[in-house]
Amino acid sequence: MAGLIAATMTRLRPFELPLGLGEVLLLLFVLAALFEGLQALRTHWLIEEPRPHVWLIGSYAVFFLMLMVGCWQGNHSGMNPYTESVRDMLAYALCFLVSAGVVVNCDGPDDVARTLRCLTWAGLSVSAIIWIWAVGFGALGGFNLWYGGYGARFTGLAVNPNQNALLLVSMPFLLCFLFRTSVAGIWERRAGICLGAIGLAAGWGTGSAALRFIWVALIPVAILAGVGFQHCRRSLRVMRDYIWTLGLGIMLILLSSESVLSRAYDFFSKSTGDVFPGMGVMNIDRMMLTDGAGWTDRLTLWKNAWLVIQGSPVFGYGPGPLSGMSGPFGGSEAHNSLLDWMMATGFVGGVALTALVSVVLWRSVRRGNLDLFFALLALLIFSMAHHVLRHPWVWAMLTLLAVHAGGLHGKWSRAGNARDDAKVDVTCVG
C-alpha cells in the first residue's frame, strides 16, 4: 500500500533514476508475494482450490509476452531505436509482478474491500497533509510543492502534477465505497468527510483538465445512480455523508482558487513586503505555467500514433516514444494509454486489454458495486489523455477491482453475488 502511493511521488527517485522509495517497497512486496506463492504451490493450492482471479496472472503474462514480441519486431525492423524501451519493459515487468502479488495476497472480495478502504484512507491522508503544507508553506525541505516552483498547479511530491492527479482521480468514488462498506463511528465518518473534502481540493488543485472533466461529468451521475439503486436507511446516511464531503470540498476549492490566492498574495505582500508563503517564489504573471502537451498537440500525436499502428498492426513495435509532433516515430508518446499500448502490442494487445477492462466493468455493475465501477471508469477516461500504463498504481487498482468483481469465472461470481445479496439484505433490515 505504501509502495503504491509512494510510486506516484516521482521526486523521491534519487538522481533521476526510475527507481525510488515506492519502487523499492514494491520490490520487497513482490519478493514476499513470490515466497507466499511458492508455498501455495507446494501445498497444491492452485490444483485443490482453483481460483478465478488466477487467470489475471495469465493475462498479465500474455500482455508481457506481447510487449516482448513487439520489442523484437521494433528492433528487427529498426523502427524502435529508443533506449527508453528497456526502461519501459522493466516498468511493465514491475507492474505485472506487483499485480500478480496482489492476486496471491487476496483471498476474495472481503479481503479486497479491506485493502481498498486502506488505500483510500492512506491516499487521502497523505494527499491532505501535503496539500495543507503546500498551501501554508509552499515547500517541503528541498521540494517546492507547486508546479515549476511557482506555478498554480499542485504537484506535491511528483515531478508532474498529472502524476499526482493519477493518485486522486478515482478517490471520490473510492470514498463512496469507503462510506458504504465500512462500519465506522461518527468521528471516523467525520474524519472521512474532512479528508475527502481536502482530497477534492488537492485533486482539483493539480490543474489536470482530464481530472476536472471526469469529476464534473461522473460525480453527479454516480450520485443519481446511488440514489436510484440503494434502498435502505444506511444508504441514506452514506449519501448524506458523501454530499457533505462534496460541499466542503467545493468550498475548499473556491477558497484555494487562483483568484483568491492571488488576492491573498497581493494583500500579504503589500502588508509585509514579503511573498505569500503558500506559493513559494511564484510570479503572478506566470501562474498558469504549463509544460505539457495541450489538447491540440494531443490530436496531432494521436493522428501520428495511428500511422505507427498501421505500420505494424498485429505485433506493434514495443514500448517507447513512437509518436511525434512532426510525424510518426518522432520521439514522443501519444499521451493516450490505449494508443501507446497499441503502438507497443498492436491491435491484438489493444483488444485483449480492452476486453479485460470491459469484463471488470461489467461484473462490477452486475455485483451492484457502482462506486467501484465509476472508480475504474474514471481511471479509464483519465488514461485516454495520459500514458499511465507504466504506473503500478493503475494495474494494482485494475487487479483489485477485478478480484472484487469476481474475476473471470462465472460460477465463483454467482456465489459471490449470493453472499453479497445476503449481506445487503441483513444491512438494510438492520
CA–CA dist 186, 190 (Å, integer): 6
- pLDDT at res. 413: 39
Which of 315, 299, 193 is CA-nearest to residue 246? 193
- pLDDT at res. 227: 55
Taking a C-beta distance cutoff of 8 angstroms, is the pair 148, 138 a contact? no
Instruction: Indicate the average pLDDT of the chain.
Output: 80
Amino acid (1-letter code) at residue 50: P
- Identify the segments of the chain with pLDDT beneath 50: 46-50, 228, 272-276, 279-291, 408-430
Which of 146, 126, 152, 144 is CA-nearest to residue 256? 152
CA–CA dist 345, 420 (Å, integer): 38
Predicted TM-score of the model (pTM): 0.85
CA–CA dist 68, 59 (Å, integer): 14
